[in-house]
Amino acid sequence: MLFLVACLVYWSFFPAFRVEQNLSIPIFLLLHLSLTLITCGGYLINDKHDMQTDAVNQKSKKHHALLKSAYFYHIYLSLSISGVIIGCVISIIYSNWFAFCSYIFAFLILHFYNHYLKGKLLLGNLSTSLLISLALLLYPSFEINLLDFKSHPTRILYFFALSSFLINLSREIIKDIEDIQGDHADGLQTLPIMAGKERSKNLAFFLLIISAILSVFFYTFYFLQISYLLQLSYALIIVPTLIIAYFITKAKKQKQFKRLSFALKILALVGLFSLVLFTWI
């Protein structure tokens, strides 16, 4: 998903705003290969540590044999370290210290996530949501000045990073509610375990309402003079956000939370791909 969004930015969004692009296509692809390798490593180590909780929650992984392999940690470290090295080398070549620090930060967070962060109140949720937002800004940091807040591309991309953070944080909380039995058996201190399902639902609801309100102001500001784009943004993003928020308050069963988690993933995907709307203004 992150790679597809980056392709949209590279071939559509930046050209529409006449941004002078520094990265060639091979370097662009290599940059996202590094992200893919780190992401794969992160998912693998997370699934490895989730084996006990998945058993309690009656979830099965198709790559179960890989997770139990004697070579698992070699594979995980090879993926993660290769991704970090590729990303850091590109960052040094282009003197992009934001990207360099982001790669080091991502590796450290993913490496220590399961040992220290995942089981702590909200820390695991915040760290994974922050990593997704950083990943969205990683490629743009090579092409634009992320500190130039007068630039429309910078403002727009920051909004999408913030919106993605809020939606993914809400989804992480919903996933914790869904997995509460397994997490409890594993001795984790997630928000639903420590504060209860209702308070956790209320926080997820509140995060989505904030996202919807910000979206109303943001899309109205940019599309006020283009009614069909404004209507499209409301139909694709704002209304679905409010609908999902409503269903969160009504959810009771594990299956309902599983559907809501999937719906939030789709919402995040549609929201990110709404970047294409800005090529028409």
The C-alpha atoms of residue 207 and residue 191 are separated, in whole angstroms, by: 14
Which pLDDT score, from 0 to 100, does residue 174 have?
96
| Percentage of the chain exceeding pLDDT 90 | 62
Rounded to whole angstroms, the Cα distance separating 36 from 103 reads 12
> Is the separation of the CB atoms in 145 and 98 below 8 Å?
no
Q: List the one residue out of 238, 249, 247 whose CA is nearest residue 210.
A: 238
| Predicted pLDDT of residue 67 | 65
Summarize pLDDT for 119-147 with one digit per residue, the tens: 677 888 898 899 999 999 999 999 999 99
Q: What is the pTM of this model?
A: 0.90
94 has a pLDDT exceeding 60: yes
Average pLDDT over residues 194-205: 94
Please state, as a whole number, how many other Cβ atoms lie within 10 Å of the Cβ of residue 16: 15
Per the rule left: phi > 0, alpha: psi between -120 and 50, beta: everything else, 58 is left
Q: Look at 1-5, 46-50, 200-204, 273-277 and tell me which has the smallest mean pLDDT.
A: 46-50
Q: Please give the angle made by the CA atoms of 40, 63 and 4, to the nearest 5 degrees.
A: 35
177, 200 contact by CB (below 8 A) = yes
Which of these ranges, 66-80, 110-124, 157-171, 180-194, has the smallest mean pLDDT? Answer: 110-124
Per residue in 51-93, pLDDT (tens digit) is 666 556 556 555 656 666 777 788 888 998 999 999 999 999 9
